[in-house]
Amino acid sequence: MSEARPLQEPVPSLRNLPGDQPAPGSQPPRRRRRFTVDALFADTSPRAVGTRELATAKEIRLDRIEPDPDQPRRSYDEERLEELAASIRLEGVLQPIAVRYDPGRDRYVIIHGERRWRAAQLAGLESIPAIVREVGDEQRLIQQLMENILREDLNALDRAAALRRLKRQMGDAPWERVAEAVGIKRSRLFQLLGTEKLPEPVQAEIRAGRLSEKQSRPLHGLPERAQAALAELIVEDGLEQREIERLARALRANPALAQEDVESLREQLRRMRATLAASQVRRGRLAEPAARPGPPQPVSAAGPAMAVLEQVRVLGETLTWLDAACLAGDERARLATELRGLAQQIRRTLRALED
């Protein structure tokens, strides 16, 4: 008995129909390329090679942007702001600002670029290019500090306040970690923090940009009146760093000077500066190389005599400023020995002059 056959033959698969088999040696059929809507509008010109569009780049109306209340910078130079505004009127904003979106207030808060935003307002712009970022509070403050510290745009007091705020946000981390977070040396960090210990008149000069943090370093450790008087002299007379350091040393050697009022002390410092400058000039002349030999010239005692007289006057003023009570024991002994030797030389010279 033959085996029962199925009632219906299996239908061949549509993929395996005899007519659809590729001929031996022929290429398989290519799939149709699919395009997305974005691809249809993509820039395919040569200038687009190696670039990509940023979804976070926007042109934002100025009235939808507001400054960060925790921004380290607290002061802006109005003159430089006007100069930037004039440049923006001619060329536009060349560098986008960075902002974050605050959904609770429906505003964009500036991370960095507040100066450009202010200048754009002065220039009469309605909007400004911006990059929208999502950053945490700690990282945001670090970015703001990095932008200003590395560019030296922030005065020392604003930087010190921002560093203290960052320390709190980092859970009262050690200063070493704070310095590492913003990429500055520990010694530099403490130099910035030291400006907060200066009296308010000196801090005002630093905020105004008339006194630099470096110029203020010799002031540390001086009495408050001496700090204020020396700071005023630096601003008024444009003292060089070496002059500031010499005057600060003279004030430390004679603390009694600091008991005077600031105006009188400033004038005394001005006279001290002139005396020290004259002394430096004379030392330089004595150190100059001898002139080229020439015909014999008549020797005059007027030149050496005037130099000695000036040196005697400088020494007299220096001894007037000196407060022996402030000297350490070894310093007093050494100075006493030198002055005794000088006194003997003066007596010999006096005898020679009187003969």
Active site residues: 114
| Contact indicator for 162, 145 with CB cutoff of 8 Å | yes
DSSP string, 76-102: --HHHHHHHHHHHHHH--SS-EEEEEE
Can you tell me the distance from the alpha carbon of 125 to that of 89, in angstroms, rounded to the nearest whole number?
8
- Write out the two tokens for 162: 């921002």
Can you tell me the distance from the alpha carbon of 119 to that of 93, in angstroms, rounded to the nearest whole number?
9
Can you tell me the distance from the alpha carbon of 192 to that of 178, in angstroms, rounded to the nearest whole number?
13
Q: How many CB atoms lie within 10 A of CB 207?
A: 15
| Contact indicator for 130, 65 with CB cutoff of 8 Å | yes
| Contact indicator for 58, 129 with CB cutoff of 8 Å | yes
Dihedral sign (CA 263, 264, 266, 267): positive
- Say which DSSP state 295 is in: S
Can you tell me the distance from the alpha carbon of 165 to that of 36, in angstroms, rounded to the nearest whole number?
48
Helix (H, G, I), strand (E, B) or coil at 20: helix
Reference 208, options 144, 139, 157, 253; nearest CA is 157
Q: Which residues pair with 313 in a beta bridge?
A: none
Reference 99, options 57, 138, 127, 63; nearest CA is 57
Can you tell me the distance from the alpha carbon of 219 to that of 211, in angstroms, rounded to the nearest whole number?
12
Q: Which helix (H) or strand (E) holds 206?
A: helix 200-207
| Contact indicator for 57, 125 with CB cutoff of 8 Å | no
